[in-house]
Amino acid sequence: MRIARFLGQFACVCGLLGAGVKPAHALENNVTTYHNDGARTGWNQWETELTPAAVAGASFKQLARVQLDEQVDAEPLYMARQTLTGLGTHDVVYVATENNSVYAIDANTGKILIHRSLGVPVPLSAIPGGCPNNVRSVGINSTPVIDSASKTLYVITFNYGNKTPVYWIHALDLATLKDKIPRVRVAASATLTDGKTFNFSASTNRQRAGLLLKKGTVYAAFTSFCDNIPSSTRGWVLGWQTDTLRSLDKVITNTLATSPQTYFLSTIWMSGYGLATDGFGSIFFVTGNSDPKNTQWYPNNLAESVVKMRSDLGVVQSYFTPGTAATGRSALDKTDQDFGAGGVMVIPPQPGKVPRLAVAAGKVGTMYLMNRDSLGGYTNGADKVLQKVDIGECYCGPSYYQGSDGVGRVISSGGQQVKVWKIVTSSTAAPRLVLESTSAAITSGQDSGFFTSVTSSSKKAGSQVIWALSRPSRQNPAAIQLYAFDPSKVTKGASKTLFVGAAGQWPNGDGNANLVPLVTNGHVYVASYKQLSIFGLGAPGTKVKEEGVPETAALQEEAEPALPGHVIYGKLTRFEKSAFTLETRTGTVTVDAAPAEKAETRALPVVGRAYMARGEYDKQGVLQAVSIQRVKDQPELWKEDR
C-alpha cells in the first residue's frame, strides 16, 4: 500500500476510515464491513469507472442475476483477487441469507463458487408473537464483517437446534467458508441495580445491527422482536476476541431492576445500520424505546439515546437524548417514535472549532449534528447539540463524502428524498449543515427512509454519484429499485437523476427492506429477496445473465407456514383499555387485546397506525387476539386477511 497525499482535513486517522490510503492495485478496493468503514460513511472514493456520464449512459445496466436460497437483510461484502481453495483466484462478493447460508460469488460473472449452510434457522413460529417484521425464518440477519489481514469472515447465525433458538458466532475462512475455529454460542449476563443477575436470552433478542471489527474484537448489538416480551428484553452490545472467539466485552443498555409495568427494552436495532467507531477507542450506537408510561433514564437506562461507549464497553463516555420541557422526555416512547430507528455516523475529522462530529436521526425526522467529544446529554431546555435539521421520517442512516472543494458533505435519506448537506466550518464558530441539493422523490413504500452509498474518484470534480435503494410500495409487485444521482449537477436545488432501474423484489411487505447498495470496482451489488443483482457497464443489447435460476423460474414468495388463528390487518381508530377497534379493508373489527397483553405480544397502540391482529373469534364476533403487531400503514402492503 502506498500513502496518498492528505485529502484536506479528510486524513486517515487511527483507522477511522481508511480513506486517504489508496489501494496499490485498482482491484484491491475491498469492502469488508457495513457501509464501507467503521465510521459508516458509505463512501468509496476510489471508483473510476462508474462516473456520472457512464451511469447515465445506455451501457450501465443489470448484468447478472443470481438466485439465492432466502431473503437477504445483510449488505454484501467484497474481496478482490481472493484465492479460493481448489477454485483459483476471483474477485468475490460474499452474501449471507436468512436461511443461515453464506455464499462466495464471482463478483464479475455472478457464478456461485461456494455455498455453505450454517444450520437450521429459527422459524417464525418460534419468534415471540410471530413478529411479522421477519421473513418465514430468521437466520443471518445482520451484516457480517471481514478481517482482510487474517482472511476471516465473522458472522452471527440464529439457529434452531433441538427446537431452541440459539445464536452462534462463526469465524469462517474466506477461502473455504469453513469454520477456522469452533463456533461459539452467544451468551452473557449482567448485574441489575438490585444486585441480581440478568441473563441474555436468545429467544427474545434479535441481532440486527451490522457487526463491527475493531482492534482484535468483533462487536454485535441486539434488539427485540417487535418489542415483544419487554419484561425480559433489553439492549446488549457484546464482544469477542477475533483469534479465539472468547467472549470479552459486554454492556446492557437497561440495568433497571424494576419498572411500573415490568417494561424495559432500550434495544439497539438502527434499521440494520452498523455499530460505529471513531478510531480513538470509542463505539457509537443509538437505542430505542423503553417504558412508555414511566421511562427512567441515564445512568441506569440508555433509552432513546445516541451513546458513546469506551471500546471495553465499561464506560459511557457521552450520550445524547432528545427532549424538551414542552413535550416531555418520554414523548418518543409514548408515541412509538423511536430515535433508534436510524443509525449514528461518525463524520471524519473536519477543520475548524469543532473537528469531531457525528449525525443521527430517527422516526421523528430530525437529524442532529453533535460534537463527538460531548454529545449533549439531556436538558429540560433546548437540546445541547450543534444543530437540528429536518430530513423526514428516518428508518435509515446517513452517508458522507468530500467534494472537490475539500469540504465534507452529509447525505441524508429520510422521507423519500436524498438531501446533501454541506458542512460549513469556522475557526471561531460552531459548524453547521447547509442544504446544498435535494433529489427527486424516489418511489418507495413501507416506513419512510432508505439507504444510500456514494462513490467518487478521489476528490475529482463531478465524479460523485449517490446510490439509493427504494423499498416496495405494494405487496404485488413487490419491486425495489436502484437509483443514482449526481450531486454536482443541481438545477433549482435538485440533483440530477442518472439512473432508475429494477433491482429485485421484496414480497415480505411487513418487514422493511433495509437494503444498502454495495458499489466497488465498476459494479453495483444489490441483495434482496432470494436474489443478488449485479449492475455495471455492458455492451448494448446484452441480456441479463442468470445464475442458478431456471429459465422458467420466477422469484415468487413461497407460502408462509400459517400460524394458528385468524389474521386481520387494519388501522386503529380507537382503543379503550383492552378493546381495540380496527378499520380493515372490508369493515370494522373489534379486537380484545387482553390475551396479547398477557403474553406480552401487543404493540404500543397509537391511533391512526396500522396493526396486524391474530387470534380466534368468540361468539360475539370479537377477535380474541394472542398477538397484535405494528405493520405498514399502506394497505397496498398488507397481506391477505384469513
Domain at 48, CATH number = 2.140.10.10
**What is the distance between the alpha carbons of residues 90 and 88, in angstroms, rounded to a whole number?**
7
pLDDT, tens digit, 9 for 90 and up, residues 244-254: 999 998 999 99
Tell whether 2 is covered by a domain.
Answer: no
Instruction: Please give the pLDDT value at position 559.
Output: 52
- The answer to whether residue 21 scores a pLDDT higher than 50 is no
Q: How far is CA 524 from CA 186, 214, 396, in A?
A: 33, 26, 20
pLDDT band at 279 (very low <50, low <70, confident <90, very high): confident
**DSSP-derived secondary structure letter, 21:** E
What b/e sequence results for 593-611 when a residue is b if at least 16 CB atoms lie within 10 Å of its CB, and e otherwise?
bebbeeebbbbbbbeebbb
Tell whether 579 is covered by a domain.
Answer: yes
- Report helix, strand or coil for 199: strand
Contact by Cβ (8 Å): 76, 527: yes
Question: From edge to edge, which strands make up the β-sheet containing 366-371?
Answer: 344-347, 357-360, 366-371, 387-390
Instruction: Please give the pLDDT value at position 476.
Output: 87
Instruction: Please give the pLDDT value at position 553.
Output: 38
**Residues shown for the chain:** 642
The percentage of residues in the chain with a pLDDT greater than 90, rounded to a whole number, is 83
**What is the distance between the alpha carbons of residues 190 and 184, in angstroms, rounded to a whole number?**
19
**Average pLDDT of the residues in 130-150:** 94
Compute how many other C-beta atoms are within 10 angstroms of the C-beta atom of residue 316: 16
The percentage of residues in the chain with a pLDDT greater than 70, rounded to a whole number, is 91
With 0-12 / 13-18 / 19 or more C-beta atoms within 10 angstroms meaning exposed / middle / buried, residue 576 is: exposed
* Same domain for 607 and 464: no
| Structural domain harbouring 627 | 566-637
Kindly report which listed range (324-328, 400-404, 586-590) carries the lowest average pLDDT score.
324-328
Q: How far is CA 601 from CA 12, 119, 309, 586, 612, in A?
A: 47, 28, 31, 25, 11
- Report helix, strand or coil for 450: coil
pLDDT, tens digit, 9 for 90 and up, residues 472-489: 999 888 999 999 999 999
Contacts for 418-425: CB closer than 8 Å, 24+ residues apart: 418/442, 418/452, 418/466, 418/468, 418/483, 418/485, 418/495, 419/391, 420/466, 420/487, 420/495, 421/389, 423/347, 423/350, 423/357, 425/350, 425/351, 425/352, 425/353, 425/354
* Same domain for 599 and 479: no
Side-chain-side CA neighbours of residue 31 (13 Å): 33
Instruction: Please give the pLDDT value at position 635.
Output: 95
Selection from 18, 48, 64 nearest residue 519 by Cα:
48
What the block records as the C-alpha cell of 53 is: 456520464
Instruction: Please give the pLDDT value at position 323.
Output: 80
- The answer to whether residue 11 scores a pLDDT higher than 90 is no
* Same domain for 352 and 315: yes
Strands 451-455 and 43-44: parallel
* Same domain for 491 and 407: yes
Instruction: Please give the pLDDT value at position 8.
Output: 31
Domain finish residue from 488, 508, 542: 542
**Average pLDDT of the residues in 12-18:** 41
pLDDT, tens digit, 9 for 90 and up, residues 358-396: 999 999 999 999 999 999 998 867 899 999 999 999 999
Contact by Cβ (8 Å): 570, 590: no
pLDDT band at 101 (very low <50, low <70, confident <90, very high): very high
Total count of domains within the chain? 2
Tell whether 12 is covered by a domain.
Answer: no
Instruction: Please give the pLDDT value at position 6.
Output: 29
pTM of the model: 0.94
* Same domain for 579 and 437: no
CATH number (domain holding residue 607):
2.40.50.140
